[in-house]
């Protein structure tokens, strides 16, 4: 496999002592062994809690302080907790050896697989055999000699939190702007160099680019598609509607490139869902051109703020469908993107999926997400945020299909799959 990666840590119980051995050949990951704790992280995002208990303490502080921000309308309080939000939101996994516990953070950007055999634990970023199980994002596990016991989930904790707020659309959108700006500034400070954004012209990537551009953050939009595809044809108008005058990158691909990419992906990743397969093809073609770079993506906005058209069509079942999509996001989409990043040495990050971003998504009432069966726009918190920032109506009221369709890749993938 091109750029083949391997990351593995073995914890052996010998004479009641823990013996730790590790092997690292990963394009993206590194780890610290600090005695009683092991922290696995993406190289650009080293800031971590020193222990699981400290991580949980940060989460508790964020919950308390963010509710105060919303209840008292004190936006300036956000600045005081932005560092904690960034630490909690960084993709890393912590092993607390004395307590025999491990946890992953909320972004789900590192998919650890765990195997327990004869009292020994192996943790890896790849499935070595059927004995390994995937550790779900945000889940705390207790390591025993005979099994792995689930303690709880930070993500479920957010979902189950009872939140009442009288904030209006303006306030929710303003909060979203502040949370994203803080995250983008944090990424820029860690990367030092220029970084990139997957820009399709939809409201999700448009808001990320607009916030970055208005705050002097050095980020470059990258747009991909087949010749004559909607995304490539409309890119200039989309950037103009945002008032963006910086550099941009256009990547034009052809049928052969899509076909070769599909063949490559199916050999290295087991993806049976046709939609996910089409998305993976687009993203792999994009990442091939950004090797050793940091790529910002808008994943999570649809799930957090009600973007999918099926939410309108099945409005009566919106809450259930939305929870299912959140699970798919963490158990499929971000994990696929992690592997594509590993293959291409691209570090992917998601400004919408910070802890406070997800908490905000929980707080926003459904009528600011989807207003009913006839709501063909949806996602009003994101749209209004663009309006606040001065984007043209063409930008914040744009209705756009997902990138696998607007790039033209989906039709090619479907045609090839039919022939297989």
Q: What is the pLDDT of residues 308-350, one digit of tens each?
A: 999 999 999 998 999 889 888 877 888 888 889 988 999 999 9
Structure tokens at 285: 């073609």
Q: Which of 57, 144, 53, 36 is nearest to 103 (CA)?
A: 53
- Chain segment 185-209, per-residue pLDDT in tens: 999 998 867 899 999 999 999 999 9
3-state class of 13 per DSSP?
Answer: strand
Structure tokens at 46: 């080293």
Q: Which residues pair with 33 in a beta bridge?
A: 38
Which pTM was predicted? 0.92
- Chain segment 10-22, per-residue pLDDT in tens: 888 777 677 778 7
**pLDDT the model gives residue 128:** 63
Say yes or no to pLDDT of 385 above 80.
yes
Query: Contact, 224 vs 297, CB < 8 A?
Result: no
Q: Which residues pair with 150 in a beta bridge?
A: 141
Q: For residue 378, give Cα distances in angstroms to 58, 98, 169, 230, 407.
A: 33, 48, 13, 21, 22
CA 172 to CA 381: how far, in whole Å?
6
- Chain segment 125-177, per-residue pLDDT in tens: 776 677 888 777 777 888 776 677 877 777 666 666 666 667 899 999 999 99
Strands 195-198 and 139-143: what pairing?
Answer: unpaired
6/200: higher pLDDT: 200
Distance of CA 116 to the CA centre of its chain: 28
Say yes or no to pLDDT of 52 above 80.
yes
Q: For residue 19, give Cα distances in angstroms to 82, 117, 342.
A: 37, 15, 28
- Chain segment 58-98, per-residue pLDDT in tens: 988 998 899 889 888 888 889 899 999 999 999 888 888 88
Provide the pLDDT confidence category of residue 2 given band limits of 50, 70 and 90: very low
Average pLDDT over all residues of the chain = 87
**pLDDT the model gives residue 303:** 95
Provide the pLDDT confidence category of residue 181 given band limits of 50, 70 and 90: very high
**pLDDT the model gives residue 164:** 62
Task: Give mean pLDDT, residues 366-395.
Answer: 96
Structure tokens at 345: 């040495």
**pLDDT the model gives residue 398:** 92
Q: 394-409 burial string, b = 16+ CB within 10 Å, else e?
A: ebbebebebbbbbbbb
The set of residues, in sequence order, having a beta carbon less than 8 Å from that of 21 and lying 6+ positions away, is: 9, 10, 12
Q: What are phi and psi of 73, to 5 degrees?
A: 55, 40
CA 44 to CA 193: how far, in whole Å?
11
CATH architecture of the domain formed by 167-419: 3-Layer(aba) Sandwich (3.40)
Name the one residue in this structure whose structure tokens are 């595809």: 229
**pLDDT the model gives residue 127:** 65
The set of residues, in sequence order, having a beta carbon less than 8 Å from that of 414 and lying 6+ positions away, is: 274, 278
3-state class of 102 per DSSP?
Answer: strand
**pLDDT the model gives residue 38:** 85
Q: Domain spans of the chain? A: 7-158, 167-419
């Amino acid at each position: 496999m091109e750029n083949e990666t391997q990351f593995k840590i073995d914890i052996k119980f010998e004479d009641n002592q823990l013996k730790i051995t590790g092997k690292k050949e990963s394009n993206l990951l590194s780890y610290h062994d600090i005695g009683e704790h092991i922290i696995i992280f993406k190289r650009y995002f080293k800031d971590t809690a020193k222990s699981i208990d400290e991580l949980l303490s940060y989460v508790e502080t964020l919950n308390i302080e963010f509710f105060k921000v919303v209840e008292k309308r004190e936006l300036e309080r956000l600045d005081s907790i932005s560092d904690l939000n960034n630490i909690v939101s960084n993709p890393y996994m912590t092993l607390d050896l004395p307590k025999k516990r491990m946890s992953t953070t909320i972004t789900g950007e590192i998919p650890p697989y765990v195997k327990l055999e004869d009292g020994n634990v192996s943790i890896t970023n790849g499935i070595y055999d059927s004995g390994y199980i995937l550790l779900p994002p945000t889940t705390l596990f207790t390591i025993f000699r005979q099994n792995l016991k689930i303690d709880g989930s930070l993500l479920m904790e957010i979902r189950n939190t009872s939140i009442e707020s009288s904030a209006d659309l303006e306030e929710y959108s303003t909060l979203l702007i502040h949370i994203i700006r803080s995250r983008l500034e944090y990424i820029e400070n860690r990367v030092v160099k220029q970084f990139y954004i997957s820009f399709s012209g939809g409201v999700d990537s448009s808001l990320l680019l607009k916030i970055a551009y208005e705050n002097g953050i050095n980020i470059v939009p990258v747009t991909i598609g087949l010749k004559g595809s909607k995304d490539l044809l409309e890119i200039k108008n989309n950037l103009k509607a945002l008032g963006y005058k910086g550099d941009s990158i256009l990547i034009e691909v052809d049928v052969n490139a899509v076909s070769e990419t599909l063949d490559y992906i199916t050999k290295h990743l087991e993806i049976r869902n046709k939609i996910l397969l089409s998305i993976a093809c687009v993203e792999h073609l994009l990442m091939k051109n950004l090797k050793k770079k940091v790529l910002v993506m808008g994943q999570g906005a649809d799930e957090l703020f009600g973007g999918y058209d099926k939410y309108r069509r099945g409005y009566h079942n919106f809450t259930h469908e939305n929870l299912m999509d959140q699970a798919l996001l963490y158990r499929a989409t971000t994990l696929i993107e992690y592997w594509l990043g590993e293959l291409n040495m691209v570090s992917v990050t998601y400004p919408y999926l910070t802890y406070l971003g997800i908490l905000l998504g929980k707080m926003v009432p459904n009528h600011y997400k989807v207003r009913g069966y006839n709501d063909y726009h949806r996602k009003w918190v994101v749209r209004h945020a663009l309006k606040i920032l001065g984007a043209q109506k063409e930008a914040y009221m744009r209705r756009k299909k997902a990138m696998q369709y607007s790039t033209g890749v989906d039709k090619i993938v479907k045609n090839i799959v039919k022939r297989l």
